[in-house]
Structures are given as structure tokens and as C-alpha cells.
Amino acid sequence: MNNVTIVYEITEPGNAILSIYNINGKHITDLLNTNDVTTGNFTTAYNVDHLASGMYLVILVNNDKKEVFRMMVGR
């Protein structure tokens, strides 16, 4: 099992969505989708066995703030 650990910070309480997209913009999954998040630093483990090798985007939307991170999956 190949897991990646995604570390992120929630700076404002409220809405939060943590999503993974492939490099072509196709939505893969939501790792977090809540209207009641608290502030703090968090980690999420995600199994990447089903993903092809390549670049993926991890997008965190916290209320009106959006952050984009790159994630590489290799075999």
C-alpha cells in the first residue's frame, strides 16, 4: 500500500474542501468537505495505489482562500 501524507493548515474556521485533481483538471476525490472546520494544522493519509504515475494537484479551499500544491506519484 502506497500512502502519501498531505499536511495542510486551516487558517479560518468555517468551510473547507481538500481535493485532488489530475494535471488535466479532472477531479479525483475530495479528502475533506465540511462546513464546520476548526483552525489548526492537520495531516491526511491518502492511498495512491490506484493513481497513474505523474503530477497531481492538491487544492485546499478554506472559505474564500484557495491554495494549490503539487503532488508527484511515481512507481
> What is the C-alpha separation between 49 and 7, in angstroms, rounded?
19
- Give yes or no for residue 12 having a pLDDT over 80: yes
C-alpha cell at 27: 477531479
Structural domains of the chain, count = 1
Q: Average pLDDT of the chain?
A: 96
- Domain hosting 52: range is 3-73
> What pLDDT, on a 0 to 100 scale, did the predictor assign at position 4?
95
Question: 35-71, pLDDT tens digit by residue?
Answer: 999 999 999 999 999 999 999 999 999 999 999 999 9
> What pLDDT, on a 0 to 100 scale, did the predictor assign at position 73?
95
Domain CATH code at residue 13: 2.60.40.3080
pTM of the model: 0.92
Spell out the residues 6+ positions from residue 40 whose beta carbon is closer than 8 angstroms to its own: 9, 10
